[in-house]
Each structure stands twice: as C-alpha cells, then as structure tokens.
Amino acid sequence: MPTTASKKQITIYDIADRAGTSASTVGAVLNGSWRNRRISEKRAETIRQIAEEMGYAPNMQARALRSVRSRMIGMILPMYENRYFGAIAERFEMEARARGLLPMTSCTRREPDLELATVRQMLSYNVDRIVCTGATDPDGIARICDAQGVPTINLDLPGTAAPSIISDNYTGAYKLTAALIDRANAVGSNWQNDFLFVGGRPTDHNTSERIRGFREAITDAGALPTEENIMACGYAAAKSKAALSAKVESTGRMPTAMFVNSTVSLEGVFDWLGQHHRKALDTILFGSFDWDPFAQYTAQNLFSVRQDVPSMLDAMFRIIDSEPPHEAEVIQVEPIVISYRTREHAPARATER
C-alpha cells in the first residue's frame, strides 16, 4: 500500500535540500533562466536529474495561471544574417503586432542546448505560444511546452508533435537542378560527372529532401548521380569554401555546375573562386537554394530558389488564428525558381500532406 509520504507533492524545496543548494537556484534551473544567474551547466544538469529522479511535477495551481493570456508569442530561429530567416523574423513580428500580440524572437544558432534553454526562458515569461523555426529537435521542444500548456508550431523544419509549415524542398530542388541541366545542355557543357551539391546537413529534413530532388532530376536527365559529388558539409561559408577547395584539389578540375544549399554556403563558394579561380565565376552554372538579390549581379549564370516567406507565414498565422486543437499536419509551400535569363517565376501554392 502506498504510504502518505509517497503521495507527498515534491517541491523545489525538496529538490534544493537534496541538491544542497537554494530553492531559487532550483527554480531558475527548472524555468530555464539559470544562465542569467550564472549557474554552471553541470550544476543545472545535476539539478534537473535530481528533479526527474524525485518525480517532480510543476504545481498545477501555478500552471493554471496560464489561463490568463499574456499576449506574448515567442519565436526561435537559427540566424538573422541569412535573408530568408531575416525575412521570416520581420514578417513574424509584423503579423504578430497586427493581431495585438507582443513578438519575442531569439537566435539560437542551431545549438540544441541553447534552443531548449531559450524555450524554457520564454516559458518563464508566460508566452502564449512558441514558433520553432529551423529547430534541431522540434518534438522535444513541443513536449516541454505541452507540459506547461503552451502550444508550439514548426516553421522551416517539420516535427511530428505540432503543425509544421515548410518549403516544398524536394520540388524546389528538382526544378532548380533541372533548370541547371537544361542550361548546361543548351550551351554544350558536359555536366554529368562535374555537377556538385554543396552545403547543408544530411540529417536535416530540408537537406535530405533537396538531395533527393537533386538526385532524381539528374537520373531523369539520363545520368547517374555521383555520391562523391554530394558534399553536405554544413551551412557555414567556411565549410563550403573548404569543401570546394578539397574537391578541386582532388579532381584537378573545376565543376561544370553547382547546386549550393543556401546563400550562406554560396558566400563561401564565391569567396574561394574569387580568390583562386575568378574566371570560373563566369563559366560555372550556379544554383542557389535561397535567394539574395545581390547574388544575381555577382554571377549572371545563376539560378535561385526563393522560399515563399509571405505564403509560409500566412499559412502559419491561419493556424494560430484558428481554434485549437490543431493536428500535427505538414503544410508544404512551393518555392519560386528564378532564372537568370528571364527572371520569370511561377506562382507559389501550398499543399498539405
């Protein structure tokens, strides 16, 4: 039979007593604000482990206070320097304010620990909802938020525990690759063995779908995609620069065409070519899965995929504006392929899967 002691509600004071620290320190760790208190990560992890071992659950009366809406909405995103994420942040803030909401944004640099710490801190400010943009573990964030009664929504990268709005990465990559192949054929370039895919992380949904589109477009054009030409080396400019340098050194020749997985990666590619093979900027066919207007003037032989931020944010706020509960559906918005020759593009459309 369970004893009266076993039914006792565990409090932060019980955790503090076992951890040999103060209740305020325990509270800061559990609400995610421990970094501001200069508590060490090791200490914070010890306290979280003790809380889990003791079966700590937040006080339900305190959680009930969340029925009073704060009108604050949070968003985490990987970076601001990329035009795509910068445009997302700007549109998010504009649409939130139009609804009388106070937007709270934070850059988490694709660091899982920083993402979780930031989300916990946002929860400590009693935000009504959190938008996870490009999060490394959106489902883990959803579980933390759900325990506090706060809904989440995913943008850019999908999850399974909350609604997700993403670009149709496969279709965009397929069309971008096909456009490069058509142009290479038109100018008589032998692209089959020297068509590179550069940038991104293969474990990311977006990159894996873009690689799938890249491979299938090459296959449909009658060639076999070469695995050593797929260099998903990360998004940082320094990494794409190093990958291209190593590739040219190992093969002894320049690529004919390049699918570059972001404008940040494109910076690294252009930087290396500008320093070592400037003339190649006028001969290589470039495809960038992301868009920057200045890149169009840097290399006229450039095709871009512009992700449709307005349509993505409109779809997201339609969900936010509607009554819960919301299904964990994935809404894909087709991006826009821009040709350097005509600058023509097709209208985007949203599809549900």
The tens digit of pLDDT for each residue in 88-131 reads 999 999 999 999 999 999 999 989 999 999 999 999 898 999 99
Predicted confidence at residue 56, as pLDDT, reads: 81
Q: Percentage helix, strand, coil, to 5, in the chain?
A: 50, 15, 35
pLDDT confidence tier of residue 54, bands split at 50, 70 and 90? confident
Which runs of consecutive H residues, i.e. helices, occur in 54-168? 60-64, 83-98, 112-124, 138-147
Q: What angle do CA 313, 318, 323 make, to 5 degrees?
A: 145
CB 259 within 8 A of CB 197: yes
Please answer whether residues 271 and 282 qualify as being in contact, where contact means their C-beta atoms are separated by less than 8 angstroms.
Answer: no
* Confidence band of 5 (pLDDT split at 50, 70, 90): very low
Task: Name which residue leads in pLDDT, 111 or 37.
Answer: 111
| E strand spans, the chain | 72-77, 102-107, 129-133, 152-155, 164-167, 195-198, 230-231, 257-260, 285-289, 302-306, 330-333, 336-338, 350-352
Angle (nearest 5°) at CA 291 between 286 and 292:
100
The answer to whether 285 touches 300, Cβ cutoff 8 Å, is no
What end-to-end distance do the CA atoms of the chain give, in Å? 49
Encode burial over 101-116: b for 16+ CB neighbours within 10 A, e otherwise.
Answer: bebbbbbbebeeebbb
Lowest mean pLDDT among 3-7, 69-73, 139-143, 258-262: 3-7
Burial of 81 (0-12, 13-18, 19+ CB in 10 A): exposed
Which element (helix H / strand E) includes 44?
helix 41-53
pTM: predicted TM-score of the whole model, two decimal places = 0.77
The mean predicted confidence, pLDDT, of the chain is 88
Q: If you average pLDDT over residues 297-313, what whole number do you get?
A: 89
What is the rounded distance in angstroms from the CA atom of residue 29 to the CA atom of residue 171? 43
Residue 109 region, left (φ>0) first, then alpha (ψ -120 to 50), else beta? left
CA distance 33 to 122: 9
| pLDDT value, residue 227 | 93
